[in-house]
């Protein structure tokens, strides 16, 4: 559509052809490129033939299911349950309301992220937590985008068993295999053999010919997490330049279940692994300097950067050596037990330093 628009606008004068586009943000992008932005419109006409591209609309039933899930999340959020208890209830009572019915197509990205944001608000997760980091750690069992894909995987595997699908169905719009193939291609996986979808690491490759449903879903979740990591690196967060060199092998070896288990009993560590823990120096950038102290809580250096406060300050209560992996140093993923204890203690100290001794995690 974008290319067609470009050709049409370039030949506008001599072909007497009028082109219009409706798929935002393409018209805006096109308008920025052409000398006469007013000529870019929302539908198009070529040699007397008119056409229009519209944004996909949810059906009433789909909207109803999504609304029911969001209302339940709001209700459960009012109960102010602890983190883990809330998450279990959200999965069984809210996400389950909007998880079924995605066979001919998957939910839109917009709707999936809206539900994910509702979970954050209802769970009272700190606003500085990053949505992609949260998705990597907790989305496998709670993000509609991931769950709709792994659900399709289960359905297609079952259809294969009883001979209700053939590989050619991936070309037939509206079949579960077509939806699943689209889901994989939208998340960085490509298919090079029947029922095999490859990603950047062999651990993320899904092969329904030789894997159990459980193994296939695990591999799909890992591939989805790696895709979310790419999205995080593109998000422009201040940590991204420090951690962008993480290789796929190291990522594949992170034990996300262990991280969640450790984070379940340590709110400060949970804040750290989801990106919600900022250094005093970062608070200087985020807020009025008079609101939060920006110095190092150990030695009083005026601007306490993360690496100084956690790993280099001579006055810190431990002299634990910094980890070689920047993601472990910054986000605490893959940290040893000693490192987890220190990162938790340091995070609590930074929090108390910034918000006072009365401030507590929960």
Return the sign of the alpha-carbon dihedral for residues 300, 305, 306, 308. Answer: negative
Angle at 304 between CA 299 and CA 307, to 5 degrees: 100
Return the sign of the alpha-carbon dihedral for residues 117, 120, 126, 130. Answer: negative
Minimum distance, C-beta of residue 115 to Zn ion, in the bound complex (Å): 41
| Residue 207 in contact with Zn ion, rule: CB under 5 A | no
Sheet of 206-207, strand order:
190-193, 196-198, 206-207
Residue selected from 292, 298, 311, 361 as contacting Zn ion according to rule CB under 5 A: 298
Closer by beta carbon to Zn ion, 74 or else 299: 299
- Dist. CA 208–CA 160, nearest whole Å: 9
| Residue 299 in contact with Zn ion, rule: CB under 5 A | yes
| Residue 164 in contact with Zn ion, rule: CB under 5 A | no
| Residue 311 in contact with Zn ion, rule: CB under 5 A | no
**Three-class SS of residue 192?**
strand
Q: Enumerate the β-bridge partners of residue 197.
A: 191, 206
Phi, psi of 198 (to 5 degrees): -100, 145
Residue selected from 313, 327, 329, 350 as contacting Zn ion according to rule CB under 5 A: 313
Closer by beta carbon to Zn ion, 37 or else 300: 300
Closer by beta carbon to Zn ion, 107 or else 297: 297
Closer by beta carbon to Zn ion, 75 or else 315: 315
Stretch that binds Zn ion, among 169-177, 216-224, 286-294, 301-309 (CB under 5 A): 301-309
Neighbouring CB atoms inside 10 A of 221's CB total 23
Residues that bind Zn ion (rule: CB under 5 A) add up to a total of 5
Closer by beta carbon to Zn ion, 256 or else 311: 311
Stretch that binds Zn ion, among 126-134, 226-234, 243-251, 311-319 (CB under 5 A): 311-319
Minimum distance, C-beta of residue 126 to Zn ion, in the bound complex (Å): 24
Residue selected from 17, 207, 301, 341 as contacting Zn ion according to rule CB under 5 A: 301
Taking every pair of Cα atoms in the chain, the longest distance, rounded to a whole number of angstroms, is 77
Q: 229 and 218 in contact (C-beta within 8 Å)?
A: no
Binding site for Zn ion (CB under 5 A): 296, 298-299, 301, 313
């Amino acid at each position: 559509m974008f290319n067609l628009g470009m050709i049409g606008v370039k030949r506008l004068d001599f072909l007497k052809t009028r082109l219009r586009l409706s798929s935002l943000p393409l018209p805006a992008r096109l308008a920025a490129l052409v000398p006469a932005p007013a000529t870019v419109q929302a539908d198009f006409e070529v040699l007397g033939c008119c056409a229009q591209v519209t944004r996909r609309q949810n059906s009433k039933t789909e909207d109803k299911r999504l609304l029911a899930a969001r209302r339940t999340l709001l209700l459960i959020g009012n109960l102010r349950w602890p983190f883990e208890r809330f998450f279990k209830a959200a999965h069984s009572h809210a996400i389950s309301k909007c998880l079924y019915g995605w066979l001919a197509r998957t939910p839109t990205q917009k709707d999936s992220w809206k539900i994910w944001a509702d979970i954050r608000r209802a769970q009272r997760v700190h606003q500085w937590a990053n949505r992609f980091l949260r998705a990597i750690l907790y989305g496998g069992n709670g993000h509609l985008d991931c769950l709709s894909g792994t659900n399709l995987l289960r359905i297609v595997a079952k259809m294969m068993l009883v001979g209700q699908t053939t590989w050619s169905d991936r070309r037939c719009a509206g079949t579960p295999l077509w939806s699943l193939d689209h889901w994989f291609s939208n998340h960085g996986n490509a298919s090079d053999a029947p029922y095999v979808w490859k990603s950047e690491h062999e651990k993320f490759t899904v092969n329904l010919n030789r894997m159990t449903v459980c193994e296939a879903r695990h591999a799909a979740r890992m591939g989805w997490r790696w895709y979310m990591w790419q999205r995080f690196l593109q998000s422009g967060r201040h940590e991204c330049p420090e951690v962008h060199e993480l290789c796929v092998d190291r990522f594949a070896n992170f034990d996300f279940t262990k991280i969640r288990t450790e984070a379940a009993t340590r709110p400060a560590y949970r804040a750290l692994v989801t990106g919600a823990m900022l250094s005093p120096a970062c608070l200087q950038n985020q807020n009025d300097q008079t609101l939060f102290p920006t110095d190092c809580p150990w030695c009083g250096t005026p601007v306490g950067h993360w690496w100084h406060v956690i790993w280099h300050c001579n006055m810190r209560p431990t002299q634990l050596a910094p980890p070689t992996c920047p993601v472990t140093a910054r986000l605490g993923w893959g940290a040893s037990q000693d490192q987890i204890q220190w990162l938790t203690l340091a995070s609590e100290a930074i929090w108390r330093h910034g918000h006072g001794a009365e401030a507590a995690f929960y």
